[in-house]
Amino acid sequence: MINEWGSIENIYRNIEQIEPKRVRNLLLKSEQNAFLSKELVKLKDNLFDSLDVDSFTFKDKNYLYSLIDEFEKYQMKEALKLALDDNDVEMLKGE
């Protein structure tokens, strides 16, 4: 029906032309639900307007960087070396 009429609004504007009569009556009985369903399936395009996407990026694309605290906590030295760059590793050796 959407292919024929183009939209749900057009279906209900032309409800008297819908055949068979049984389908027309079913549509009339469920008009409110039909429009509610349309609202429910609309995609929201403003969900991320207030989201700071940059806060989710990793420093220098080093995906292990976010785990440094855990590596230090559990004394995972090899993993820590992978997570840090060369300058950071030298700094830790000096501590």
- State which of 5-9, 51-55, 80-84, 87-91 shows the largest mean pLDDT: 5-9
The tokens for 66 are 């976010």
- Asked whether residue 48 is assigned to any structural domain, the reply reads no
Backbone φ, ψ for residue 43 (5° rounding): -80, 135
Predicted local confidence at residue 33, as pLDDT: 97
61 and 35 share one domain: no
Indicate whether 3 pLDDT > 60: yes
Q: Give 9-43 pLDDT, tens digit per residue.
A: 999 999 999 999 999 999 999 999 999 999 999 88
Q: Give 48-63 pLDDT, tens digit per residue.
A: 888 887 777 766 666 7
- Asked whether residue 46 is assigned to any structural domain, the reply reads no
Across 7-89, the runs of DSSP E, i.e. the strands, are: none
Predicted local confidence at residue 15, as pLDDT: 96
Q: Which domain holds residue 62?
A: 53-93
Predicted local confidence at residue 35, as pLDDT: 96
Domain count of the fold of the chain: 2
Predicted local confidence at residue 21, as pLDDT: 96
59 and 89 share one domain: yes
13 and 34 share one domain: yes
